[in-house]
Each structure stands twice: as structure tokens, then as C-alpha cells.
Amino acid sequence: SYDLTQPPSVSVSPGQTARITCSGDAFPKKYAFWYQQKSGQAPVLVIYEDNKRPSGIPERFSASTSGALATLTISGAQVEDEADYYCYSTDSSGNHTFGTGTKVTVL
Amino acid sequence: QLQLQESGPGLVKPSETLSLTCTVSGGSVSITSYYWAWIRQSPGEGLEWIGSVYYIGTTYYNPSLKSRVTLSVDTSKNQFSMDLTSLTAADTAVYYCAREREYYDITGYENYFDFWGRGTLVTVSS
């Protein structure tokens, strides 16, 4: 199996920067994707192909990959950004893997 | 706008088979470069990919569930379905259907889920 490891939780004050890491052996050879999941809702794609934002995703969401670590950054976090965040990738064997998830608290 | 809607029982008994259907509207399941996937999330837990099916019937599964899962697609109804056998309490989860985009890039084959259903809670209990 293929593992993607994230910190369980990150806390940030409104307007500050939150960084969420995702460690995976397939990086940087494979892309990292990031999903936001608000309570009781389906996940929403916020980053694709390491660092690209889908249409409609605020500019405060950005991401990068360095070595075996992918990082999602929320610059100027808002209360509405409070959610669970999951990284996602596929290894060379085709295993579709979600990260362990990070709960972001904005308070 | 593409929409996906899961349907099926909310309560099933241990050892029985769970059958779920995802109805796609605003687009066709018979589209190249896209698979149709099932993903689940146990209460308070993370996301787990179950498997994916292409409109011509090609499938691939999570190795940990492969022995118990069958995916299929019905292009005439614009639906795809999942059967999960030999249920236990550990299969209690919210089950999501999703569209999976697959493509070839400089990194090799890549895929991600771009549209999701709202999810349906399935409880396994006697």
C-alpha cells in the first residue's frame, strides 16, 4: 500500500497563514492534489497538479511540493476555511490514496 | 453542471450485500478519459477509495476491498453501481460516488476526482 501522512490538526488565527503538510514517497514524481471537506459535506478539489487552483477557489489557497513533501498553504485564513483537508495522489502501481487528513481550526 | 446522486439502503445487516447506484445528470457516463468511482468515509475517519469503472466496463479496485467489490455501469440509464459483499460493522460509512479524471502527463498517468455526489450513509447493523 501507499501512505500519505498529514498532521492531525492545525490551528490558525483569522488572517494568519496555515500550512498543511503531506508526506509521500511518490512525491515529487507524482502530482499532489488537495481536497477541502467541510462538516457534513462532500470533498471539494482546491488544488490540482501540485499547485494549480480550480476555477472558483480563492487565491489564498496555494500549494507546493519539495522532495517527498507536499504543502498546502492558506494565506490569510478565514473562518470559512475551517474544514478537514486531504491530500491525494496515485503511486506508480496505480494505488489511489488519500492522506490521513488534517483538521484546520480557525479561531 | 454535472451532478451525481447516490441511492440505496441506509441500513443493511451483517453478512449481507450492499448495492448502491449513482445516477449522473448534466453529463454522460459514456465519456472518454473519465472513470466513475466510489469512495467511502467511516464515521470520524478519512477517505478511502473503493474502486473505479470506465463506461466500457473496465474496472480497478482498492486491493484491500477487491475480493468483495464489484462495480458496473449502465450507459442506457446513465448510472453506475457498486456491490459490496460480506458486510461487517467496519463497512459502516458514508459512501460517495465521484467522477474521476484520468490523463497522461509528464509524471505518467494521473487521476483525480473532480465531481462528487453528496454521499449516502450506510449503517451495517442487525
Can you list the residues of chain A whose pLDDT is less than 50?
none
Query: Taking CB atoms and an 8 Å cut-off, how many pairs form between chains A and B?
Result: 58
SS3 assignment, position A22: strand
Residue B108 has pLDDT above 90, yes or no: no
Residue B57: DSSP 8-state: S
Q: Give the closest-approach CA distance of A107 to chain B in angstroms.
A: 21
pLDDT of residue A2: 83
pLDDT of residue A94: 80
| Whole-number Å distance between alpha carbons of A74 and A18 | 5
pLDDT of residue B57: 95
Tell whether A90 is within 8 A of chain B (Cβ). yes
- Test mutation, B5, B40, B47, B54, chain A, max A CBs within 10 A: B47
SS3 assignment, position B50: strand
Contacts of B117 in chain A (CB under 8 A): 42
Q: Give the closest-approach CA distance of B76 to chain A in angstroms.
A: 27
Q: Let me know if B112 is exposed, middle or buried by CB neighbors in 10 A (0-12, 13-18, 19+).
A: buried
